[in-house]
Amino acid sequence: MSIMSKLKPDRNITGVIIPFSIVPVFGLSTLIFGLHAGLLTLAVFMLVYSLFYLYIFVRTWNTAQLVICAEGAFFGFMFLVFEPNFGTNSVGSKEFKAAYISGVIFFGLLLVSLALTRRLKWRGREIFELAGESVDETGNGYTSRPRPVGKVEYNLQQMHAFARFCARHLIALPYVSSKNITLVPIKMGEEFGRLLGLSGDYRDASWVNFDVNGEVSVHISQKDYLDYRELLAFDQLCTSFGQVFIDFFELYNKGEGIRVIDRMDDLKLSFLS
């Protein structure tokens, strides 16, 4: 299934800027402090990058994050080995070259595979596309007030399992309290700010909330609302947004979680957006 996108084109380049910022950081540190300092900075950058993706794995249990974590650790270690031995025969040896080239090929192929199969893709854009799919009426009416959208029969164990499913497949980031489970969908490039706590309180973002009584409520941020090409009827959009997650929960609860992934994949959105 391929539909006409109701969202504006994705122009968020944060996901590209952050990893590629390593290039000017390396260049600047080399220019100011010399090549040895530049290589050491590169190693530290890669190791910090690795730790960040380890944190994402712990937060989501999305195993694909471990590949990026391992890549950062591998190349960080390689640069740590390279730096004190720069200019010596050890870093020019066949063993060092073989290890480096093997790492580039292995992690390169693995990361391309994971990207193309959308295992690394945060699915917020798919969620908003699905929410807008059934809304044809236009008209502003935006309000930041949360909206109740329905009631679902579930127990807390089922909802906790569904929240873990959403996190594992990068559908939404769960925030759990004693009375609520709040799911926050994240678009590609927004994960850095959200996970590092730089995007403000999650309650100001778009979310769907399931409480202990089965009540479902939603909030759509103004930023996400204005990301649609047209000002869609807000009440309908909120209802549709909540219904997407209700449908996902019902599919998952029937043991058909793969159909949730299929619905998002059928949109055929770029793995980069």
Output the tens digit of pLDDT for each of the chain's 273 residues. 445 789 998 887 776 777 778 888 888 888 898 888 888 888 899 999 999 999 999 999 999 999 999 999 999 988 887 766 655 555 567 777 888 899 999 999 999 999 999 999 999 999 999 999 989 888 878 888 999 999 999 999 999 999 999 999 999 999 999 899 999 999 998 998 899 888 888 999 999 999 999 999 999 999 999 999 999 999 999 999 999 999 999 999 999 999 999 999 999 998 888
Kindly state whether residues 97 and 155 are assigned to the same domain.
no
**Residue 273 located in a structural domain:** no
Q: What's phi and psi for 258, nearest 5 deg?
A: -60, -30
Q: What's the domain range around 188? A: 124-265
DSSP state of 229: S
Q: Please check whether residue 149 is in contact with residue 217, taking contact to mean a CB–CB distance below 8 angstroms.
A: yes
- Of residues 204, 187, 206, 200, the one with CA closest to residue 273: 187
DSSP state of 202: G
CA 225/CA 221 separation, integer angstroms: 6
Name 147's bridge partners.
Answer: 218
- Residue 45, CA distances (Å) to 52, 75, 97, 229 in order: 11, 10, 21, 38
Kindly state whether residues 133 and 104 are assigned to the same domain.
no
Contacts 24+ apart (CB under 8 A), 153-160: 153/214, 154/210, 154/214, 154/249, 154/253, 156/212, 158/253, 159/210, 159/249
Kindly state whether residues 90 and 180 are assigned to the same domain.
no
148: three-class secondary structure by DSSP: strand
Kindly state whether residues 73 and 105 are assigned to the same domain.
yes
How many domains does the chain divide into?
A: 2
Which among 57, 88, 116 is the end of a domain?
A: 116
DSSP state of 9: P
Structure tokens at 228: 């649609």
Name 151's bridge partners.
Answer: 215
CA 239/CA 235 separation, integer angstroms: 6
pTM of the model: 0.90
- Please count the residues of the chain: 273
**Residue 252 located in a structural domain:** yes
